[in-house]
């Protein structure tokens, strides 16, 4: 599993080069989210991971980057060829890329 910084992720998202997977809970997603993310809470990932594409890199995201690392390791073990975890999660994204995303 690789870690990606918010600054390195931004151009990849702008180009549509990656799929962003948000593994937070629904109330967290209501508080702050990034457009276009696939929303699968971590506890649902074992049952729903087949909804994710395998043809382009996946970037897992959570609040601070811990759950996303768990998700990334799970996806790698289940045959996803390129999986990254967003370093610092949506909180780091808000601090370093887009301050309009609320922090919670």
Q: Can you give the length of the chain in residues?
A: 104
In sequence order, the β-bridge partners of residue 61 are: 22
Q: Which residue has the tokens 């506890």?
A: 43
Q: Is 62 annotated as catalytic?
A: yes
Of the listed 62, 83, 84, 86, which one is catalytic? 62
With H, G, I as helix, E, B as strand and everything else as coil, classify residue 11.
helix
In contact, 91 and 71? CB cutoff 8 Å = no
Residue 39 and residue 21: Cα distance in Å, rounded?
A: 6
Which tokens is 20 given?
Answer: 């962003």
Catalytic residues, which ones? 62
């Amino acid at each position: 599993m690789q870690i990606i910084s918010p600054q390195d992720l931004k151009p990849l998202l702008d180009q549509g080069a990656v799929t962003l997977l948000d593994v937070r809970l629904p109330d967290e997603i209501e508080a702050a989210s990034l457009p276009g993310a696939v929303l699968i809470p971590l506890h649902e990932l074992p049952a729903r991971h087949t909804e994710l594409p395998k043809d382009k890199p996946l970037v897992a995201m959570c609040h601070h980057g811990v759950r996303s690392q768990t998700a990334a390791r799970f996806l790698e073990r289940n045959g996803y060829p390129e999986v990254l975890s967003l370093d610092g999660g949506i909180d780091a994204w808000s601090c370093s890329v887009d301050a309009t995303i609320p922090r919670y």
